[in-house]
Structure 1
Amino acid sequence: MKGTSHLFIGTAVGAIAGYAVQPDIKTALIGATVGGISGVVPDLDTNGLASNSITLSKKVSKWLMETAGIVILLTLIYQVFTEGLSQDIYVYGGIGLLLLIVSRIITQRRMLTITGILVMLLGFVLDQSLGILLAGSYIIIASFLPHRSYTHSIIGIVFYAYILKHVYAQWPIDGLVAAGLAGYISHLLADMKVLPVNRRGVKWFMPLWNREF
């Protein structure tokens, strides 16, 4: 199933879950937002709507790295001719060369890894927020997983519930946990093989049982 379909389903079930917790429009809208985001989170293990929405494109990232690397190296060359050699030139020269090398080998998946690291750094900045730290670790782990593996299993649900629990502990928003779980689980249900739109199913019980449902 496509990412946009998961987004719409997650938004709908999130709104219902939020309204069930606190029957008012505000909570329903919050639930819709959280449910929509959670509805695409399991697909962070592939280059789809979720991962592409939170990372720069490979093309943009490559251009930024190449530009930065070239600017650094040209600046250092100018400095050598005007001021002579210094110890800092080797350090910054290495950084410039590293940026050029990385720009040639970077992939969209590794951009997702970098995004996860940045999210974890944000967690440290925000008084070591465990919820954000866990969210960052989820993104990093997902960036190395095959599609429809652990993020599409009960293990993924439990890990995501743990993230929501700690986010709620820091920001107690009505309906957050219920809407988040509803959106996440809706993704796995919508990806099941019983639906004719899916050629593959969901391995709910991996790694203990790798049968697709």
Structure 2
Amino acid sequence: MDCKGACATGSSHAAGAIAGYQVQPDLYTVVDASLIGGASALVPDLDTNGLASNRITISKKFTLWLMQFVGIGILVAIAYQFFTTGFTPSIILYAGIGLLFFIVSRFITQRRMLTLTGVMVMWLGIEVHQSTGILLAGSYIVIASFLPHRSYTHLLLGHAFYAFILSHLQQEWEFEVLLVSGTVG
């Protein structure tokens, strides 16, 4: 679903709210379902450098600055160590790591920031009690970061995978409206 269609009119948000009302007709459930449905309506557009992918990724400018700072910091520390204690084999390794940080920072794109975000979500899934749902969500983001717009994430296969992720999250978090409103949204 393209955000120029349903997102602009709010029909995807309404669909999530209606799904929530069908599950349990109380105000909190309807609000939760509306938020989940609205957020889920943006998921297919993770495969583009647009609203969805730019909202969940870490700032490219901050990451570039941080990588350059770390790279230069490592190189300065290595130079200091070289001049104070002399040459050691580890200097070459750490100098290579510092240069790698600096060089990679020059070539990173917003799309690769989305990839890194997906990897970090997967890492979070490992850290949070081996959460299969969070691991799957991270893998969905990583896959979307490598695909052209209107491909996998806009197909029924992508929708089925997203529903599979939601079903795992619903089981793990015991959040009754998650699967229905997220899938409908």
Do the structures match in fold with TM over 0.5? yes
Task: Provide the C-alpha distance between the structure 1 equivalents of 2:74 and 2:132, rounded to a whole number of angstroms.
Answer: 37
Q: How does 1:34-73 map to 2 (within 5 A)?
A: 34-73=36-75
Task: Provide the C-alpha distance between the structure 2 equivalents of 1:118 and 1:94, rounded to a whole number of angstroms.
Answer: 24
Given residue 73 of structure 1, which amino acid in structure 2 is its aligned partner?
Answer: L
Aligned match for 2:90, one of 88, 91, 95: 88
Secondary structure of the structure 2 residue equivalent to 1:47: coil
Kindly state the Cα deviation for residue 127 of structure 1 after the two structures are TM-superposed. 2.2
Kindly tell me: are residues 25 and 146 of structure 1, through their superposed partners in 2, closer, same or farther at Cα, counting changes over 3 Å?
same
Given residue 169 of structure 1, which amino acid in structure 2 is its aligned partner?
Answer: Q
TM-score (norm: length of structure 2): 0.91
For each residue in 1:81-121, what CA deviation from the matched residue of structure 2 results, as whole angstroms up to 9, or x when unmatched? 12222333222211111111111111111111111111111
TM-score (norm: length of structure 1): 0.80
1:114 pairs with 2:122: no
Q: How does 1:18-33 map to 2 (within 5 A)?
A: 18-33=20-35
RMSD (Å) for aligned C-alpha atoms: 1.8
1:126 pairs with 2:128: yes
- In structure 2, the gaps of 5 or more residues are none
After TM superposition, where is structure 1 displaced by more than 6 Å over at least 4 residues in a row? none
Task: Provide the C-alpha distance between the structure 2 equivalents of 1:89 and 1:9, rounded to a whole number of angstroms.
Answer: 59
Task: Provide the C-alpha distance between the structure 1 equivalents of 2:4 and 2:143, rounded to a whole number of angstroms.
Answer: 20
Query: For the Cα contact (< 8 Å) 1:38–1:181, is it kept in 2?
Result: yes
For each residue in 1:129-151, what CA deviation from the matched residue of structure 2 results, as whole angstroms up to 9, or x when unmatched? 11111111100110111100111
The number of residue pairs the alignment matches comes to: 183
Q: How does 1:1-213 map to 2 (within 5 A)?
A: 1-2=2-3, 6=7, 8-183=10-185
Task: Provide the C-alpha distance between the structure 2 equivalents of 1:5 and 1:61, rounded to a whole number of angstroms.
Answer: 33
